[in-house]
Amino acid sequence: MSSLFSRLLKYFGFREESNNSHQVKKILTPLKFSELEEIIGFPIKNKSHYIQALMHRSFLEELEDADVSNERLEFLGDSVLSLVVAEYLFENFPKENEGFLTKVRAKLVNRFALSDAAEDIGLANFILINQNLTNTFARASKTVLSDAFEAIVGAVYLDHGLEISKKFIHRVLIEPLTKDGEYLIDENYKSQLLEYAQANKIEVPNYIVIKEEGPQHDRIFTVKVNVGEVYFGVGTGKNKKTAEQNAAKATLEKIPH
Protein backbone atom coordinates (compact mmCIF):
# COMPACT_ATOMS: atom_id res chain seq x y z
CA MET A 1 0.00 0.00 0.00
CA SER A 2 2.88 2.37 0.75
CA SER A 3 4.25 2.04 -2.79
CA LEU A 4 0.76 2.75 -4.14
CA PHE A 5 0.53 5.90 -2.03
CA SER A 6 4.01 6.93 -3.17
CA ARG A 7 2.94 6.67 -6.79
CA LEU A 8 -0.32 8.49 -6.10
CA LEU A 9 1.38 11.24 -4.13
CA LYS A 10 3.88 11.69 -6.94
CA TYR A 11 1.06 11.74 -9.47
CA PHE A 12 -0.82 14.39 -7.51
CA GLY A 13 2.34 16.48 -7.07
CA PHE A 14 2.93 16.04 -3.32
CA ARG A 15 6.32 15.77 -1.65
CA GLU A 16 6.56 12.74 0.63
CA GLU A 17 7.30 14.96 3.62
CA SER A 18 4.54 17.53 2.97
CA ASN A 19 1.73 17.99 5.51
CA ASN A 20 -0.90 17.10 2.94
CA SER A 21 0.84 13.84 2.02
CA HIS A 22 0.70 12.82 5.68
CA GLN A 23 -3.02 13.70 5.79
CA VAL A 24 -3.68 11.54 2.72
CA LYS A 25 -1.95 8.60 4.42
CA LYS A 26 -3.78 9.25 7.69
CA ILE A 27 -7.27 9.59 6.25
CA LEU A 28 -7.18 7.17 3.30
CA THR A 29 -5.73 4.12 5.03
CA PRO A 30 -6.49 0.57 3.80
CA LEU A 31 -9.16 0.40 6.51
CA LYS A 32 -10.70 3.64 5.25
CA PHE A 33 -10.79 2.29 1.71
CA SER A 34 -12.62 -0.78 3.03
CA GLU A 35 -15.12 1.50 4.77
CA LEU A 36 -15.53 3.50 1.56
CA GLU A 37 -16.23 0.28 -0.34
CA GLU A 38 -19.01 -0.52 2.14
CA ILE A 39 -20.53 2.90 1.52
CA ILE A 40 -20.36 2.51 -2.26
CA GLY A 41 -21.52 -1.09 -2.14
CA PHE A 42 -19.03 -2.32 -4.74
CA PRO A 43 -15.30 -3.09 -4.80
CA ILE A 44 -13.01 -0.15 -5.57
CA LYS A 45 -10.90 -0.96 -8.62
CA ASN A 46 -9.07 2.33 -9.20
CA LYS A 47 -8.29 4.08 -5.91
CA SER A 48 -6.94 7.19 -7.64
CA HIS A 49 -10.45 8.15 -8.83
CA TYR A 50 -11.70 8.20 -5.23
CA ILE A 51 -8.67 10.00 -3.82
CA GLN A 52 -9.21 12.75 -6.38
CA ALA A 53 -12.96 12.79 -5.69
CA LEU A 54 -12.28 13.41 -2.00
CA MET A 55 -9.74 16.22 -2.53
CA HIS A 56 -11.25 19.63 -1.89
CA ARG A 57 -9.50 22.45 -3.77
CA SER A 58 -8.30 23.98 -0.48
CA PHE A 59 -6.30 20.82 0.21
CA LEU A 60 -4.13 21.59 -2.81
CA GLU A 61 -3.47 25.26 -2.09
CA GLU A 62 0.25 24.65 -1.63
CA LEU A 63 0.45 23.47 -5.25
CA GLU A 64 0.70 25.80 -8.23
CA ASP A 65 -1.63 23.52 -10.21
CA ALA A 66 -4.85 22.61 -8.38
CA ASP A 67 -6.50 20.88 -11.33
CA VAL A 68 -6.32 17.56 -9.49
CA SER A 69 -8.99 18.61 -7.00
CA ASN A 70 -12.45 17.04 -7.10
CA GLU A 71 -13.97 19.76 -9.30
CA ARG A 72 -13.68 17.88 -12.61
CA LEU A 73 -15.21 14.75 -11.06
CA GLU A 74 -17.87 16.97 -9.50
CA PHE A 75 -18.78 18.17 -13.01
CA LEU A 76 -19.01 14.59 -14.28
CA GLY A 77 -20.98 13.37 -11.25
CA ASP A 78 -23.47 16.21 -11.62
CA SER A 79 -24.28 15.06 -15.15
CA VAL A 80 -24.61 11.42 -14.11
CA LEU A 81 -26.91 12.39 -11.22
CA SER A 82 -29.08 14.50 -13.50
CA LEU A 83 -29.43 11.64 -16.00
CA VAL A 84 -30.23 8.97 -13.42
CA VAL A 85 -32.78 11.10 -11.55
CA ALA A 86 -34.36 12.25 -14.82
CA GLU A 87 -34.75 8.63 -15.94
CA TYR A 88 -36.32 7.69 -12.59
CA LEU A 89 -38.87 10.50 -12.81
CA PHE A 90 -39.60 9.84 -16.49
CA GLU A 91 -40.40 6.20 -15.75
CA ASN A 92 -42.36 6.76 -12.53
CA PHE A 93 -44.47 9.76 -13.61
CA PRO A 94 -45.57 8.95 -17.18
CA LYS A 95 -48.48 11.40 -17.11
CA GLU A 96 -46.60 14.44 -15.77
CA ASN A 97 -45.33 17.21 -18.04
CA GLU A 98 -41.81 18.54 -18.52
CA GLY A 99 -42.31 21.36 -16.03
CA PHE A 100 -43.20 18.97 -13.22
CA LEU A 101 -40.28 16.65 -14.03
CA THR A 102 -37.82 19.55 -14.12
CA LYS A 103 -39.05 20.96 -10.82
CA VAL A 104 -38.88 17.63 -8.98
CA ARG A 105 -35.48 16.75 -10.44
CA ALA A 106 -34.12 20.08 -9.21
CA LYS A 107 -35.38 19.27 -5.73
CA LEU A 108 -33.80 15.80 -5.70
CA VAL A 109 -30.35 17.00 -6.81
CA ASN A 110 -30.10 20.36 -5.05
CA ARG A 111 -27.30 21.19 -2.62
CA PHE A 112 -29.36 20.36 0.45
CA ALA A 113 -30.47 16.94 -0.80
CA LEU A 114 -26.94 15.98 -1.85
CA SER A 115 -25.31 17.22 1.35
CA ASP A 116 -27.88 15.31 3.44
CA ALA A 117 -27.14 12.15 1.45
CA ALA A 118 -23.40 12.68 1.93
CA GLU A 119 -23.90 13.18 5.65
CA ASP A 120 -26.09 10.08 5.95
CA ILE A 121 -23.42 7.83 4.42
CA GLY A 122 -20.62 9.42 6.47
CA LEU A 123 -18.75 10.96 3.53
CA ALA A 124 -17.43 13.82 5.71
CA ASN A 125 -15.03 11.37 7.38
CA PHE A 126 -13.20 10.85 4.08
CA ILE A 127 -12.92 14.35 2.62
CA LEU A 128 -9.40 15.75 2.24
CA ILE A 129 -9.67 19.42 3.17
CA ASN A 130 -7.17 22.00 4.39
CA GLN A 131 -7.04 21.96 8.18
CA ASN A 132 -6.56 25.73 8.34
CA LEU A 133 -9.92 26.54 6.78
CA THR A 134 -12.26 28.83 8.67
CA ASN A 135 -15.53 27.52 10.10
CA THR A 136 -17.32 28.85 7.04
CA PHE A 137 -15.67 26.12 4.96
CA ALA A 138 -15.58 23.40 7.57
CA ARG A 139 -15.71 19.80 6.46
CA ALA A 140 -19.37 19.52 7.40
CA SER A 141 -20.51 22.52 5.31
CA LYS A 142 -23.31 21.71 2.87
CA THR A 143 -21.40 22.98 -0.16
CA VAL A 144 -18.30 20.88 0.59
CA LEU A 145 -20.44 17.81 1.25
CA SER A 146 -22.64 18.19 -1.84
CA ASP A 147 -19.62 18.79 -4.08
CA ALA A 148 -17.88 15.71 -2.66
CA PHE A 149 -21.01 13.63 -3.21
CA GLU A 150 -21.14 14.64 -6.88
CA ALA A 151 -17.43 13.87 -7.22
CA ILE A 152 -17.88 10.42 -5.67
CA VAL A 153 -20.65 9.71 -8.17
CA GLY A 154 -18.20 10.72 -10.90
CA ALA A 155 -15.59 8.36 -9.45
CA VAL A 156 -18.06 5.46 -9.29
CA TYR A 157 -19.03 6.13 -12.90
CA LEU A 158 -15.40 6.03 -14.07
CA ASP A 159 -14.67 2.96 -11.95
CA HIS A 160 -17.78 0.90 -12.71
CA GLY A 161 -19.87 2.53 -15.43
CA LEU A 162 -23.46 3.74 -15.57
CA GLU A 163 -25.37 0.70 -14.27
CA ILE A 164 -23.43 0.50 -11.00
CA SER A 165 -23.67 4.29 -10.67
CA LYS A 166 -27.47 4.01 -11.01
CA LYS A 167 -27.62 1.42 -8.24
CA PHE A 168 -25.51 3.61 -5.95
CA ILE A 169 -27.58 6.75 -6.65
CA HIS A 170 -30.87 4.91 -6.17
CA ARG A 171 -29.75 3.39 -2.87
CA VAL A 172 -28.22 6.44 -1.18
CA LEU A 173 -30.18 9.33 -2.74
CA ILE A 174 -33.39 8.49 -4.59
CA GLU A 175 -34.84 5.81 -2.30
CA PRO A 176 -34.31 7.77 0.97
CA LEU A 177 -35.79 10.94 -0.55
CA THR A 178 -38.80 9.35 -2.22
CA LYS A 179 -39.94 6.80 0.36
CA ASP A 180 -42.26 9.23 2.19
CA GLY A 181 -43.40 11.30 -0.80
CA GLU A 182 -42.30 14.63 0.71
CA TYR A 183 -40.19 15.40 -2.35
CA LEU A 184 -43.43 16.07 -4.24
CA ILE A 185 -44.35 18.93 -1.93
CA ASP A 186 -43.77 22.31 -3.59
CA GLU A 187 -41.52 24.34 -1.28
CA ASN A 188 -41.15 27.28 -3.66
CA TYR A 189 -43.37 29.54 -1.60
CA LYS A 190 -42.51 32.64 -3.63
CA SER A 191 -43.81 30.94 -6.76
CA GLN A 192 -46.99 29.82 -4.97
CA LEU A 193 -47.60 33.33 -3.66
CA LEU A 194 -47.10 34.85 -7.10
CA GLU A 195 -49.53 32.34 -8.62
CA TYR A 196 -52.09 33.24 -5.95
CA ALA A 197 -51.74 36.96 -6.68
CA GLN A 198 -52.09 36.46 -10.43
CA ALA A 199 -55.07 34.11 -10.07
CA ASN A 200 -56.87 36.62 -7.83
CA LYS A 201 -55.89 39.66 -9.93
CA ILE A 202 -54.17 41.51 -7.09
CA GLU A 203 -50.81 43.22 -6.95
CA VAL A 204 -47.78 40.98 -7.32
CA PRO A 205 -45.84 40.33 -4.08
CA ASN A 206 -43.42 43.07 -3.04
CA TYR A 207 -40.38 41.98 -0.99
CA ILE A 208 -38.55 44.50 1.21
CA VAL A 209 -35.50 43.92 3.40
CA ILE A 210 -36.40 45.55 6.73
CA LYS A 211 -33.40 44.47 8.79
CA GLU A 212 -29.83 43.18 8.44
CA GLU A 213 -27.89 42.10 11.49
CA GLY A 214 -24.92 40.03 12.59
CA PRO A 215 -21.26 40.01 11.45
CA GLN A 216 -20.46 40.11 7.74
CA HIS A 217 -19.71 36.37 7.54
CA ASP A 218 -22.89 35.42 9.41
CA ARG A 219 -25.60 37.90 8.38
CA ILE A 220 -29.27 37.49 9.23
CA PHE A 221 -31.77 39.12 6.87
CA THR A 222 -35.37 39.97 7.75
CA VAL A 223 -37.75 40.45 4.82
CA LYS A 224 -41.35 41.65 4.69
CA VAL A 225 -43.63 40.85 1.77
CA ASN A 226 -46.92 42.50 0.88
CA VAL A 227 -49.56 41.04 -1.43
CA GLY A 228 -51.89 43.86 -2.32
CA GLU A 229 -53.22 45.60 0.80
CA VAL A 230 -54.55 42.55 2.61
CA TYR A 231 -51.87 39.96 3.25
CA PHE A 232 -48.29 40.27 4.40
CA GLY A 233 -45.65 38.12 6.10
CA VAL A 234 -42.18 38.41 7.62
CA GLY A 235 -39.34 35.93 7.27
CA THR A 236 -35.68 35.66 8.24
CA GLY A 237 -32.70 33.80 6.76
CA LYS A 238 -28.96 33.80 6.29
CA ASN A 239 -29.45 35.26 2.81
CA LYS A 240 -32.13 37.33 1.10
CA LYS A 241 -33.42 34.42 -0.96
CA THR A 242 -34.12 32.27 2.10
CA ALA A 243 -35.65 35.19 3.98
CA GLU A 244 -37.96 35.91 1.04
CA GLN A 245 -39.06 32.26 0.86
CA ASN A 246 -39.83 32.27 4.59
CA ALA A 247 -41.74 35.54 4.27
CA ALA A 248 -43.77 34.10 1.40
CA LYS A 249 -44.51 30.98 3.45
CA ALA A 250 -45.68 33.10 6.39
CA THR A 251 -47.97 35.03 4.04
CA LEU A 252 -49.47 31.89 2.50
CA GLU A 253 -50.29 30.62 5.99
CA LYS A 254 -52.46 33.72 6.52
CA ILE A 255 -54.45 33.21 3.33
CA PRO A 256 -57.69 31.23 3.81
CA HIS A 257 -57.85 27.99 1.82
Pick from 37, 32, 33: nearest CA to 168: 37
CA 167, CA 149: separation in Å to the nearest integer? 15
78 catalytically annotated: yes
Whole-number CA gyration radius for the chain: 22
CA 255, CA 23: separation in Å to the nearest integer? 55
Catalytic option among 78, 116, 147, 244: 78
Enumerate long-range contacts of 156-165, CB under 8 Å, 24 or more apart: 156/40, 156/42, 157/76, 157/77, 157/80, 158/46, 158/49, 158/73, 158/76, 159/44, 159/45, 159/46, 159/49, 159/50, 160/42, 160/45, 162/80, 164/42, 165/80, 165/84
120 catalytically annotated: no
Catalytic option among 74, 150, 159, 244: 150
Enumerate long-range contacts of 246-253, CB under 8 Å, 24 or more apart: 246/189, 247/207, 247/223, 248/189, 248/190, 248/192, 248/193, 248/205, 249/189, 251/193, 251/205, 251/225, 251/227, 252/189, 252/192, 252/193, 252/196
List the catalytic residues: 78, 150
